[in-house]
Each structure stands twice: as C-alpha cells, then as structure tokens.
C-alpha cells in the first residue's frame, strides 16, 4: 500500500472539487465539497446536504467525517474544503468542534481563487474543548 505521507494537497483538493458537484444546496446555492485524508491514506469525501427545514443542513466537512467514521477510520491527517467563492472557505464552528474530537492535529487546506490558506485546526480552534476536557 502506498505510504499516506507525504500528503499530496493537490489530490485532496481535486477530490473535494469533484465531490462539490454532488452538493445538495437548493436553498443557499452555496455548494461545498470536502476531502478528508485518513491515517490509512484513504480519502473520504463529503458535500453539504441541505433540507427544507433549513436548520437541518449538514456541512460538507461533517459529511466527510461521518462517512469516514462509519467506515471505521478514526484518525485523520488533513482536510481540504472547496466552494466557488473567491476567498478560501473556512470550516464553521460546529465542524471545527467535530474535527477536534477525532483529529485535533489535523491540517486544514482552504483553496480560494485568489489564494490558498494552509493552516491547522489548532490555529482555527484554540483552547478547544475535547475528550480530554472531561477527564
């Protein structure tokens, strides 16, 4: 099996872009795709899925995390998030918290038309509340 490292951000971004086409976003019209790299080297993709009851929308990032978890992967290295907005699309607060549960050290790649931001969840969610906080 190919070594999961070094991370190839290009293939992660491409996977997120492809999945974005599957987004169900008839209300916001804001289609998002995410691609999550598991410790195994496997990539899990997700798109946003909205609902006529607006508050039930699920973001692309959480779709990818839940898909990966339900397939047995529990540790993650990186996530790429794409929309077609000119600026990079950052994960919402709820998605940051869900990512923190399983991958506090994950890299976050946010490509935009003008610039790409590569950062970490640690920087996006400082002083996070997580599993260790309950001990």
Q: Does 85 bind ligand THU (CB under 6 A)?
A: no
* Residue 20 C-beta: closest distance to ligand THU, Å: 9
Site string for ligand THU, 40-69 (x = CB under 6 A): --------x-x------x-xxx--------
* Residue 74 C-beta: closest distance to ligand THU, Å: 22
Q: For the chain, how long is the longest CA-to-CA vector?
A: 43
CB neighbours of residue 100 within 10 Å: 19
Relative to beta strand 33-38, strand 43-47 is antiparallel
> Which residue carries 């931001």 as its tokens?
117
Q: Does 92 bind ligand THU (CB under 6 A)?
A: yes
Q: How many CA atoms lie within 13 A of 98 on its CB side?
A: 19
Catalytic residues, which ones?
61
* Residue 16 C-beta: closest distance to ligand THU, Å: 11
């Amino acid at each position: 099996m190919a070594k999961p490292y070094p991370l190839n951000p290009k293939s992660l971004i491409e996977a997120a872009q492809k999945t974005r086409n599957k987004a169900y976003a008839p209300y916001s019209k804001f289609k998002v795709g995410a691609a999550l790299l598991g410790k195994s080297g496997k990539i899990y993709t997700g798109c946003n899925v909205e609902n006529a009851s607006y508050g039930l929308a699920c973001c692309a990032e959480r779709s990818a995390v839940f898909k990966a978890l339900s397939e047995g992967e529990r540790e993650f290295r990186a996530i790429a998030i794409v929309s077609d907005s000119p600026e990079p699309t950052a994960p919402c607060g709820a998605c940051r918290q869900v990512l923190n549960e399983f991958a506090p050290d994950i890299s976050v790649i946010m490509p935009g038309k003008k610039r790409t931001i590569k950062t970490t969840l640690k920087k996006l969610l400082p002083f996070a509340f997580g599993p260790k906080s309950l001990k």
